[in-house]
Amino acid sequence: MAELVAGGKGVIEAILRRRSLAPRKLVAPGPDASQLELLISAAAAAPDHGRLHPVRFVQIADAGRATLAQLFRQAASQMEPQAGPELADREAEKAHHAPCLLAVVARIDDANPVAPAHEQWISVGAAVQNVLLAAEDLGFRAMIVSGRKVQSRLLQAAFAPTGSEHLVGFVAIGTPTAEPSPRDRHPGSLAHWSGT
């Protein structure tokens, strides 16, 4: 593997090296406006059958953090009513983590004649991965997070109000304050098919 990486253009190494870091461990500075533009361009470079652009990103402005915290609190209580106020507090706190927080909103056209829904979801995932990789290339760490609260009607209505869209989660990006903990990667899966 090491020789293969050495023969590559750095992309493989970046992919293999990429690690998520919890949003609470990400601090300022985050990406500036031109870096953010680059990240969104990286997202737009993902494979996209039929050019449907099935994903958009919404940056949470600093001014919106308090409202997001309130939404996280209410959504957590709605989704896990048996949990106490500690959970709601913890979820609310997450709205203040990471200097750059991007809501990921997917628009999947179930009736598209060219690209079925699963292909569009693949595009969404590839776009997110491109953002994560590009963020690391710029010297940041990043992570996509969701949690049960994201499935709440409240959060869905806030970020995907038309009903034809779906809030997937949030990409947090920032400067790392810690190293990600070691993690064994799954080796992946490759079989061979010879026609029988």
Ligand X SMILES: Cc1cc2nc3c(=O)[nH]c(=O)nc-3n(C[C@H](O)[C@H](O)[C@H](O)COP(=O)(O)O)c2cc1C
- 3-class secondary structure, 174: strand
Smaller CB distance to ligand X: residue 115 or 142?
142
Binding-site member from 36, 102, 108, 143 for ligand X (CB under 6 A): 143
Nearest Cα to Cα of residue 175 among 58, 11, 64, 28:
28
Smaller CB distance to ligand X: residue 32 or 179?
179
Is 54 one of the binding residues for ligand X (CB under 6 A)? no
Is 169 one of the binding residues for ligand X (CB under 6 A)? yes
Choose one: 65-73, 77-85, 89-97, 139-147; the region binding ligand X (CB under 6 A).
Answer: 139-147
Nearest Cα to Cα of residue 97 among 149, 160, 30, 43:
30
Nearest Cα to Cα of residue 50 among 142, 140, 112, 92:
112
Choose one: 67-75, 111-119, 138-146, 187-195; the region binding ligand X (CB under 6 A).
Answer: 138-146
Is 145 one of the binding residues for ligand X (CB under 6 A)? yes
Nearest Cα to Cα of residue 160 among 88, 109, 96, 103:
103
Is 19 one of the binding residues for ligand X (CB under 6 A)? yes
In our burial notation (b when 16+ CB lie closer than 10 A, e otherwise), range 20-33 reads: ebbbebbeeebbee
Choose one: 30-38, 55-63, 89-97, 143-151; the region binding ligand X (CB under 6 A).
Answer: 143-151
Number of residues lying near ligand X (CB under 6 A)? 11
Is 23 one of the binding residues for ligand X (CB under 6 A)? no
CA dihedral over 134, 140, 141, 142, signed as positive or negative? negative
Q: Torsion over CA of 187, 39, 169 and 26, rounded to 10 degrees?
A: 80
Binding-site member from 103, 144, 160, 167 for ligand X (CB under 6 A): 144
CB of 106 to ligand X, least distance (A): 10
Nearest Cα to Cα of residue 104 among 26, 156, 52:
156
Residue numbers at the binding site for ligand X (CB under 6 A): 19-20, 143-147, 168-169, 180, 183
